[in-house]
Structures are given as structure tokens and as C-alpha cells.
A and B are shown apart, each in its own frame.
Chain A
């Protein structure tokens, strides 16, 4: 079974530029999560999708961050414009359902904003 796929693995941009991250969850997993992991810290949830619906986006900075999950499969997380403080690893995870099923994480995208 293929795992969660994320791209790109690394991204370096200058501040004020836009950036997008892509995630393809494990086949059959209805719930998809985006996390941000700052250096030396644990992952923090940004947004959770159940199929196409964003059911928990309270931690998503909506002034500059946006996300979509078209057709309830893969998802894109966008930052526009990026700020220096956005440098982090962005992790995508998926689970069969939202009911505390095991979350499987992708390798993440390491973003560096200069």
C-alpha cells in the first residue's frame, strides 16, 4: 500500500512570494490533515478535511493560508504571501475516518523563507 505522498520535499522562496504544497493521501482514507512543524517542536494541526469538507480549520491563518481538497482525494495548501515565520516543515497525514483512526504521515515539505 502506497503511503502519503507529498511534493515538493523542499522549497526555498523569498518572503512575499507565494508557495503551494501538494498531498496525495493513502487510497481510501477519507480524512486528511495538514500540520505545521516548527524546528524543535511537535506538529500543530492547521486544517482537517473529511472528504471535501474542511471540518476543523481554527488554527489556519486565513489571511495568508488557504487549502482545498477537490473531489475528496488530494489536497493543496497555499501560502500567499509567505513570511519569514512561515519557515517550517509542512506535514500531510491521512486516516480512514476522523474517529481516532491511526494517522499516517507523509515525509513533509521543508519550507525556507528568505
Chain B
């Protein structure tokens, strides 16, 4: 049973526009959420995180929104750049400090 789901396997966006990546979770015990970015032949790298006590966290072009009632979070990238093309993983911590990943969304930013 997948506890963290990324229902869109891929997303294509024009350079300069907004990219919105979505993630849903089922476990109400998750209390800390992260986004990782992965380029081919490299390991995932941490991008941004949000605690369950917040509903928004911003870092430069990247903003993560959390809707606890809907068990949904999203990553906004504005403006999108070709170098943002990668696979993005949503992940969540439970109280036991175990990190659970979603299946990933491949973002393609076209010049």
C-alpha cells in the first residue's frame, strides 16, 4: 500500500512558466514532508521541506504548500528553467523518523 503517491508520472512545462508538482499521502501520522530532486545517474538531492505545523514554505523559486485536511502537498517552481528538468520525489517522515518516498514525477522544462 503506497502511503505517498505522486499520480502524475511526468509533466512538461515551458521555460519561464510555473511548474506545479503534486503529492498525496494517506498516513495521518506523517508530520514532516520533503521534496527531493534527482538527475540521471545521480542520487536524489534535498530541495525543500515543510513541517506539518506550517502550510507554506518558500526558498527562492521553490515553494511547497501543505494542505493537511486534504493530505496533499505541492511544489511550485516559478519561473521554471531548463536546468529544473529532473525527477522530483515527494517524501514524508513519520514519528519513527522513517522516510517514505513517492514514486516520482519527471519534469521537463522546454526552452
Contact = CB atoms under 8 A, between A and B. Distances in A.
A44 B101 contact: yes
A43 B4 CA distance: 12
A45 B98 contact: yes
Given A40-B103, A42-B89, A4 B98 contact: no
B45 interface: yes
Contacts of A56: 96, 98
Interface residues of B, number: 20
B102 A42 contact: yes
A25 interface: no
Interface in A67-114: 91, 93, 98-100, 102-108
A103 B91 CA distance: 12
Interface stretch (B13-21, B36-44, B56-64, B71-79): B36-44
Contact of A42 (B41, B43, B93, B103): B103
A67 to B, nearest CB: 16
For chain B, what secondary structure do more than half of its interface residues adopt (helix, strand, loop), or is it mixed?
Answer: loop
Between B43, B44, B91, B101, the greatest number of chain A beta carbons within 10 A of the residue's beta carbon is seen for B43
Interface string A21-50: 000000000000000000011111100100
A98 B103 CA distance: 23
B43 A107 contact: yes
Contacts of B101: 42-44
Nearest to B46: A102
A107 B41 contact: yes
Nearest to A93: B43
Nearest to A31: B97
A12 to B, nearest CB: 16
Given A42-B103, A100-B32, A100-B93, A108 B43 contact: yes
Interface of B: 4, 9, 32, 41-46, 89, 91, 93, 96-99, 101-104
